[in-house]
C-alpha cells in the first residue's frame, strides 16, 4: 500500500462539536481506518488532519458526516487537500483555544442501549449496577465542577477507578474510552435506603426493597441525576393524595415515569413524534393526551386531559421498574412548591424527611441541580416548555459572532444566558425567583457557568420590571453597563434568534404579564421589532385589574373587570364568588383604587375561563388557560371583535361569551378562533403598512397548541412566513435568549 503518495486532508468541522465526545470519537474512527494525524478544538468547531490510505480517508469523512456522536450537530465540513506531512499515529491535540479555557460542557444523557444491555446481563460485571455509563451516556453537566471536563474536576473524583475500569478508560477501542464518570460495583458509587433513623439496606437490596415500598403505597424520595424526586405508585389514590398534601401542591399535575413505550400506551395516546421525544437521549417529560380509562389516581392531573410522561433515564430508574408491580410512578421534583429541587445529601433531613416515608440515596454528589425538561410535540417537532436536563448547557448555535453578555431572564420559569463566540449558552431551568433560596440557585448557576465558559460580560441585560429580583441583582453589580429590555421585545427577539432571523419582523407576543414602557402591564402585543428596538404598533385594550398578584390567582377578578368593561352585569355569571369579596373588588375597580391597567392575553384567558365557570381560582400559573384549552370544541366561527386604531378590543367578544356561558365548550372553541383571527388581522394590517411578511409568534399564550395551530393556519393561508419556538420556550423560560441578542446589538453601540 503506497501510503506516502496519498494526500493529507484538513477538515474543519462546524456545528455543535465541542463537549459532545467528538474528539475521542474521531480518535477511534482514525484508529478504525488506520489513519494518522490529529484532532483539536478550534474557535468555530473542530479541526482534523488525517493522512494515510485514500479509501480509508474517504470512509472516514463519510462516517464523520453520517454517524457523529449523539449530541453532536455537524453543520458543515470544509475539506482541504494538502501534501502529506508524515504524521506518526493519531493524537488528540490540546489547542491554544482549550488553554484559553473555553470548552462547551455536555448535558446529561440518558442511559444508552449498550449500557442497558450490560445492566441486564447477569454475566456482566455491571449487572444491576445503578451507575453504569459510557462515552455515549451518563451524567455530565450535573457532576462537572470545572473545565477541562476530566474526571478530577467532576464529583466522580472521589471514586478512583479500579484496574478494570481504568483499562476501559484508556482503550480507544472500548466504549468507555475517556468516559469520565466510568464506574463499576467495585470502584464506583452505591445506593442506600434510609428511613428517618438510619440505613435499612445497601446496593441491590436497597433497590429491591424500594420497589416493594413503592408497590405498598409509600412515598419515597429518590436521588436521581440532577436532584431528588418524590415518587409513589401513580395508580394509588391514597399515596398520590398524601404526596399532594405533604408537598402543598393543590392541582398542579405530577409528572409520571413509565418503563417503556408499551407502558406509556396504557395511559396515553402517542403520535410518532411523541415516541421519538420520549425515547430521545435527552429523555424529557412529554405532554401527551391522556386515555380516558388510564389506570391512574384521579389526583395525578386534576381537570386536565393530558399527562406529563417520561421514560427512565438512569440505570437506577430502569432498575426501579425491573419486575415491579406498578405501571407508572409519580416522579415529581422533591421540594415544597416554589422552592428549588433538593439535590444534596445534607438537605435530606431538613427538607425531605417531612415529605417522604423513606429515602433512596446515593453518594455521587450532584454539583448542578437540574430539573427534568418538558416538551410538547407540534407539527411533528419537539417544542420546549422547560429547557433543562439533557439540554442545558448545550448552546443555541447562533451562526453569527457575538460578544460576551449576560442576560438575566425574567422572574417566573427563570433561565439565564451567556453569549460567546457564536453561541448562546442557556442555563437549566432555575425556577420562579420569588424567594431567597431560588435567587441563591440563580447566583450559583451564574458563577458556575461563568467559570465553565470563561465569560466576562461587557453588558448585563435584565427585564424592564423594576421589582424583579433579577433586575435588582443586575443593578447591584458595579462597573458593568446594564440594559433594561422590555419583556415582550425579549420574547420576540428570542423567537427571531432561534429562527436565525435578523429582522425586522411583525412580532405578536401573546403573554401573561410583562412590564411596559408606560409603566402599565402589557401582554397582548403587536410589534414591529428587530434586535435594535421595537415599535408598539397595536395592543389589546387596557382593562383595570384589582389586586396585582391576587388577580393572577383569582381569575374571577379578571372576569369581573372584563365584564364591567364590556358593560355586562356580572351578577349571575359570578354567583359562585362570595358576594362580599365580589363587592369589595367591584368597589376597587369603580374607584380605581389598588388597580393597575393591564392588556394581557393571559388575563383575558383567565377572564373567559371564569365567565364560563371553568375556573374561578387558580392553584398554579396558567391553570385556567390550560383548562380552557382542554374543554374547547372544534368550530370554525370566531366571535366578533374590534380593531380600533392601535387597539384590539374584545368587548364584543366578552359580551358574546357571557351570552353563550351555558355552552362553555363551544364558547371556549370560538374564543380560541377569535384570538387567532385577531392575530391574523393584526399581521395583515402591519403588512399593509410596512410590507413586512415575516411574523414571529411568542409569549406564554402560544404554549396553547390550539391557539398556535389556528394562528399559524391563518397566517400561512395569507402567505405570511410565520415563525414560532421549538429550541427555547415561548414562555418566560426563553426570555434570556432574546435579552442576550438585544444586548449584543447594543454592545456594538456602546
Ligand atoms: Zn452507555
Ligand atoms: Zn471499576
Ligand atoms: Fe412573558
176 alpha carbon – ligand 2 mean position (Å): 11
Expressed in angstroms and rounded, the spacing between residue 114 Cα and the centre of ligand 1 is: 6
Q: Tell me, in angstroms, the distance from the centre of ligand 3 to residue 699's CA.
A: 5
Q: Residue 26: CB partners within 8 Å, gap ≥ 6?
A: 39, 46, 48, 64
Phi and psi at 578, nearest 5°, equal -55, 125
What's residue 421's pLDDT?
86
pLDDT at 186: 98
| Strands in 44-115 per DSSP E | 45-51, 73-82, 90-92
The CB density around residue 94, as the number of other CB atoms within 10 Å, is 11
Q: Tell me if residue 65 falls in helix, strand or coil.
A: helix
Q: Residue 278: what are its φ and ψ, rounded to 5°?
A: -60, -40
Does 337 lie in the same domain as 225? yes
Ligand number nearest CA of 315 is 1
Q: Is the pLDDT of residue 516 over 50?
A: yes
What's the rounded mean pLDDT across residues 438-465? Answer: 95
- Last residue of a domain, which of 52, 72, 92? 92
Say whether both 336 and 407 belong to one domain: no
Ion ligand 1 neighbours (CB, 5 A) are 112, 115, 134, 136-137
CATH number at residue 660: 3.30.420.40
**With contact defined as beta carbons under 8 Å apart, do 459 and 746 qualify?**
yes
For residue range 59-87, what is the model confidence (pLDDT) as tens digits?
999 999 999 988 788 878 999 999 999 99
CB 544 within 8 A of CB 718: no
The pLDDT tens digits of the residues spanning 662-715 come to 999 999 999 999 999 999 999 999 999 999 999 999 999 999 999 999 999 999
pLDDT higher than threshold 60 for residue 4: no
Distance 315 CA to ligand 1 centre (A): 10
Q: Are residues 392 and 482 in the same domain?
A: yes
pLDDT of residue 253: 95
What is the pLDDT, as a whole number, of residue 99?
Answer: 41
Mean pLDDT for the chain overall: 94
The CATH code of the domain that includes 277 is 3.90.870.10
- Residue labelled with grid coordinates 410518532: 272
User: Which domain-ending residue is among 337, 352, 374?
Assistant: 374
Helix, coil or strand: residue 701: helix
- Of the candidates 392, 357, 387, the residue with the CA atom closest to the CA atom of residue 373: 387
Q: Report pLDDT for 98.
A: 47
Please give the Cα distance from 603 to 542 (Å, whole number). 11
Please report the pLDDT score of residue 2 as a whole number: 43
What's the 63 CA to ligand 1 centre distance in angstroms?
20
Residue 1 has pLDDT above 60, yes or no: no
- Do 347 and 445 sit in the same domain of this protein? no
| 217 in a structural domain | yes
How big is the chain by its Cα radius of gyration, in Å? 27
The pLDDT confidence band at residue 5, using thresholds 50, 70 and 90, is: low
DSSP for 435-496? Answer: SHHHHHHHHHHHHHHHHHHT---SEEEEES-TT-HHHHHHHTSTTS-EEEE-HHHHHHHHHH
Does residue 330 lie within any of the structural domains? yes
| Ligand 3: centre distance to CA 487 (Å) | 6
User: In angstroms, what is the span from residue 373 Cα to ligand 3's centroid?
Assistant: 19
CA of 163 to the centre of ligand 2 (A): 7
Q: How far is the CA of 181 from the centre of ligand 1 (A)?
A: 11
Distances (CA, A) of 745 to 401, 736, 750: 11, 14, 9
Residue 284 three-state SS: coil
Please report, for the domain that includes residue 492, its CATH number. 3.30.420.360
Q: Tell me the three state secondary structure of residue 129.
A: coil
Contacts of 152 (CB under 8 A, 6+ apart): none
From the CA of 139, which ligand is nearest? 1
Sheet holding 482-485, edge to edge: 396-397, 423-426, 417-420, 405-407, 459-463, 482-485
Please state the separation of Cα 321 from the chain's center in Å.
Answer: 26
Three-state helix/strand/coil letters over 529-562? EECCEEEEEEEECCEEEECCHHHHHCHHHHHHHH
Q: Write the secondary structure of 449-461 as one string of H (helix), E (strand) and C (coil).
A: HHHHHCCCCCEEE
**CA atoms of 471 and 191, how far apart (whole Å):** 41
For the chain, how many residues are written?
750
Residue 674 and residue 99: Cα distance in Å, rounded?
Answer: 57
**Comparing C-alpha atoms, which of 60, 629, 683, 550 is closest to residue 303?**
629
Q: Are residues 735 and 712 in the same domain?
A: no
Q: Are residues 739 and 718 in the same domain?
A: no
Query: What is the CA(170)–ligand 2 centre distance, in A?
Result: 13
Q: What confidence category does residue 106 fall into, taking pLDDT thresholds of 50, 70 and 90?
A: confident
100: confidence class by pLDDT, cuts 50, 70, 90: very low
Is the bond preceding 730 in cis, omega lying within 30 degrees of 0?
Answer: no
Provide the residues around ligand 2 (an ion) whose CB is within 5 A. 162, 165, 184, 186-187
Domain contains 459: yes
This prediction's pTM? 0.93
Does one domain contain both 197 and 216? yes
Burial of 88 (0-12, 13-18, 19+ CB in 10 A): exposed
Please state the rounded mean pLDDT for residues 546-554. Answer: 88
Is 175 among the domain residues?
no
User: What gap in Å lies between CA 426 and CA 418, rounded to an integer?
Assistant: 7
Output DSSP code: residue 64. Answer: H
**Shared-domain flag, residues 253 and 202:** yes
Q: Are residues 709 and 675 in the same domain?
A: yes
d(CA 98, CA 112) in angstroms, rounded, equals 28
Does 562 lie in the same domain as 656?
A: yes
Q: Tell me how far the alpha carbon of residue 134 lies from the centroid of ligand 1, in angstroms.
A: 4
If you measure from the C-alpha of residue 602 to the centroid of ligand 3, how many angstroms do you get, rounded to a whole number?
10
C-beta atoms surrounding 690 within 10 Å? 14
Place of cell 366561527: 637
Does the residue 117 lie in any domain?
no
The residue written with cell numbers 416515608 in the block is: 357
Taking the CA atoms of 178, 181, 183 and 187 in sequence, report the sign of the dihedral they define: positive
Assess contact for 193 and 184: CB atoms under 8 A. Answer: no
- Torsion of Cα atoms, 535 then 538 then 544 then 548, to 10°: -50
Which CATH number does the domain housing residue 69 bear?
Answer: 3.30.70.100
Domain count, the chain: 4
Q: Kindly tell me if the per-residue pLDDT of 97 is higher than 60.
A: no
Q: Compute the distance between CA of residue 417 and CA of residue 516 in angstroms, rounded to an integer.
A: 22
Flag the least confident range among 133-142, 146-155, 180-189, 508-517.
146-155
Ligand nearest to the CA of 491: 3
Q: Give the least confident one: 39-43, 436-440, 471-475, 549-553.
A: 39-43
Contacts of 621 (CB under 8 A, 6+ apart): 412, 512, 552
- Residue 614: count other Cβ atoms within 10 Å of its Cβ: 22
Tell me the β-bridge partners of 134: 137
Out of 168-172, 284-288, 346-350, the most confident range is 284-288
Are 401 and 367 members of one domain? no
Is the confidence at residue 3, as pLDDT, over 80? Answer: no
Sign of the CA dihedral running 238, 239, 241, 245? positive
Contact 510, 679 (CB under 8 A): yes
Three cell numbers, residue 210: 424500594
Range in 212-221, 390-399, 423-432 with the lowest mean pLDDT? 390-399
Q: Which domain holds residue 209?
A: 191-374
CA of 182 to the centre of ligand 2 (A): 7
- Taking the C-alpha atoms of residue 309 and residue 298, their distance in angstroms, rounded to an integer, is 16
Ligand nearest to the Cα of 488, by number: 3
Cα of 160 from ligand 2 centre, angstroms: 8
Ligand nearest to the CA of 411: 3
**Is 514 within the bounds of a domain?**
no
CA of 323 to the centre of ligand 1 (A): 22
> Looking at residues 172-181, what average pLDDT do you find?
87
Q: Which of these three, 92, 116, 140, is where a domain ends? A: 92
In a domain, 115, yes or no: no
User: Which residues does 361 contact at the CB level (< 8 Å), separation at least 6?
Assistant: 191, 192, 193, 194, 223, 345, 348
C-alpha dist (Å) from residue 219 to 192, 197, 199, 353, 571: 16, 16, 17, 11, 45
Percent of the chain with pLDDT over 70: 98
Average of per-residue pLDDT across 492-501: 97
- Tell me which ligand sits closest to the C-alpha of residue 179: 1
Cell of 592: 380605581
28: Cα within 13 Å, side-chain hemisphere: 21
Side-chain half-sphere exposure of 504, counting CA atoms within 13 A: 14
**738 inside domain:** yes
Q: Kindly state whether residues 734 and 719 are assigned to the same domain.
A: no
Amino acid at each position: 500500500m503506497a501510503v506516502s503518495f496519498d494526500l493529507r486532508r484538513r477538515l474543519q468541522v462546524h456545528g455543535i462539536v465541542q463537549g459532545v465526545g467528538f474528539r475521542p470519537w474521531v480518535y477511534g474512527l482514525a484508529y478504525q481506518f488506520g489513519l494518522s494525524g490529529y484532532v483539536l478544538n478550534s474557535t468555530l468547531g473542530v479541526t482534523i488532519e488525517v493522512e494515510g490510505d485514500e479509501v480509508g480517508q474517504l470512509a472516514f469523512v463519510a462516517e464523520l458526516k453520517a454517524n457523529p456522536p449523539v449530541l453532536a450537530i455537524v453543520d458543515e465540513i470544509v475539506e482541504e487537500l494538502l501534501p502529506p506531512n508524515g504524521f506518526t499515529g493519531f493524537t488528540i491535540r490540546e489547542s491554544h483555544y482549550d488553554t484559553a479555557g473555553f470548552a462547551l460542557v455536555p448535558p446529561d444523557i440518558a442511559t444508552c442501549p449498550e449500557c442497558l444491555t450490560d445492566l441486564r446481563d447477569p454475566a456482566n460485571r455491571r449487572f444491576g449496577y445503578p451507575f453504569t455509563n459510557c462515552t455515549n451516556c451518563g451524567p455530565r453537566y450535573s457532576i462537572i465542577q470545572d473545565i477541562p471536563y476530566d474526571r478530577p474536576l467532576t464529583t466522580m473524583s472521589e471514586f478512583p477507578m479500579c484496574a478494570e475500569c481504568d483499562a476501559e478508560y484508556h482503550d480507544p477501542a472500548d466504549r468507555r474510552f475517556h468516559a469520565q464518570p466510568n464506574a463499576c460495583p467495585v470502584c464506583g458509587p452505591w445506593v442506600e435506603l434510609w428511613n428517618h433513623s438510619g440505613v435499612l439496606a445497601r446496593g441491590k437490596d436497597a433497590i429491591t426493597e424500594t420497589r416493594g415500598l413503592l408497590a405498598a403505597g409509600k412515598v419515597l424520595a429518590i436521588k436521581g441525576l440532577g436532584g431528588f424526586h418524590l415518587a409513589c405508585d401513580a395508580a394509588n389514590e391514597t399515596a398520590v393524595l398524601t404526596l399532594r398534601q405533604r408537598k402543598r401542591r393543590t392541582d398542579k399535575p405530577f409528572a409520571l415515569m413509565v418503563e417503556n413505550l408499551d407502558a406509556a400506551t396504557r395511559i396515553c395516546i402517542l403520535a410518532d413524534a411523541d415516541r421519538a421525544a420520549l425515547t430521545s437521549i435527552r429523555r424529557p417529560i412529554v405532554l401527551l393526551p391522556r386515555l380516558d380509562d388510564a389506570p391512574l389516581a384521579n389526583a395525578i392531573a386534576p381537570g386536565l386531559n393530558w399527562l406529563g410522561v417520561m421514560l427512565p433515564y438512569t440505570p437506577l430508574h430502569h432498575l426501579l421498574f425491573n419486575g415491579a408491580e406498578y405501571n407508572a410512578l409519580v416522579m415529581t421534583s422533591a421540594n415544597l412548591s416554589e422552592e428549588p429541587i433538593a439535590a444534596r445529601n445534607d438537605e435530606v433531613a431538613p427538607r425531605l424527611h417531612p415529605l417522604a416515608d423513606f429515602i433512596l440515596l446515593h453518594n455521587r454528589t450532584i454539583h448542578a441541580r437540574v430539573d427534568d425538561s418538558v416538551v410538547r410535540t407540534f407539527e411533528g417537532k419537539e417544542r420546549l416548555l422547560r429547557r433543562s436536563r439533557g439540554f442545558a448547557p448545550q448552546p443555541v448555535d447562533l451562526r453569527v459572532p457575538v460578544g460576551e453578555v449576560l442576560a438575566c431572564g425574567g422572574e417566573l420559569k427563570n433561565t439565564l444566558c451567556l453569549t460567546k463566540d457564536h453561541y448562546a449558552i442557556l442555563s437549566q431551568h432555575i425556577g420562579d425567583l420569588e424567594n431567597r433560596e431560588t435567587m441563591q440557585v440563580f447566583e450559583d448557576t451564574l458563577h458556575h457557568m461563568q467559570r465553565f465558559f470563561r465569560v466576562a460580560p461587557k453588558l448585563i441585560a435584565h427585564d424592564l420590571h423594576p421589582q424583579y429580583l433579577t433586575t435588582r441583582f443586575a443593578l447591584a453589580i458595579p462597573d458593568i453597563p446594564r440594559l433594561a429590555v422590555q419583556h415582550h421585545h425579549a420574547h420576540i427577539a428570542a423567537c427571531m434568534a432561534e429562527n436565525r432571523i435578523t429582522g425586522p419582523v411583525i412580532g405578536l407576543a401573546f403573554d401573561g404579564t410583562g412590564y411596559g414602557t408606560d409603566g402599565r402591564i402589557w401582554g397582548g402585543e403587536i410589534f414591529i421589532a428587530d434586535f435594535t428596538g421595537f415599535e408598539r404598533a397595536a395592543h389589546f385594550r387596557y382593562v383595570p385589574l384589582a389586586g396585582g398578584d391576587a388577580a393572577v390567582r383569582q381569575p374571577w377578578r379578571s372576569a369581573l373587570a372584563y365584564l364591567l368593561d364590556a358593560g355586562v352585569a356580572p351578577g349571575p355569571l359570578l354567583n359562585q364568588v362570595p358576594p362580599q369579596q365580589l363587592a369589595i373588588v367591584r368597589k376597587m375597580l369603580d374607584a380605581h383604587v389598588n388597580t393597575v391597567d393591564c392588556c394581557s392575553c393571559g388575563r383575558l384567558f383567565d377572564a373567559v375561563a371564569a365567565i364560563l365557570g371553568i375556573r374561578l381560582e387558580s392553584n398554579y400559573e396558567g391553570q385556567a388557560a390550560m383548562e380552557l384549552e382542554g374543554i374547547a370544541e372544534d368550530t370554525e366561527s370566531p366571535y366578533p371583535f374590534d380593531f380600533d386604531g392601535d387597539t384590539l378590543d374584545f368587548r364584543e367578544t366578552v359580551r358574546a361569551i357571557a351570552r353563550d356561558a351555558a355552552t362553555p365548550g363551544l364558547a371556549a372553541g370560538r374564543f380560541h378562533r377569535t384570538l387567532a383571527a385577531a392575530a391574523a388581522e393584526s399581521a395583515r394590517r402591519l403588512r399593509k403598512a410596512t410590507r413586512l411578511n415575516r411574523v414571529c409568534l411568542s409569549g406564554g399564550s402560544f404554549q396553547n397548541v390550539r391557539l398556535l395551530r389556528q394562528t399559524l393556519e391563518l397566517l400561512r393561508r395569507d402567505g405570511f412566513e410565520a415563525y414560532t419556538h421549538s429550541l427555547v420556550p415561548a414562555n418566560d423560560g426563553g426570555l434570556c435568549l432574546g435579552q442576550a441578542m438585544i444586548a449584543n446589538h447594543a454592545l456594538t453601540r456602546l
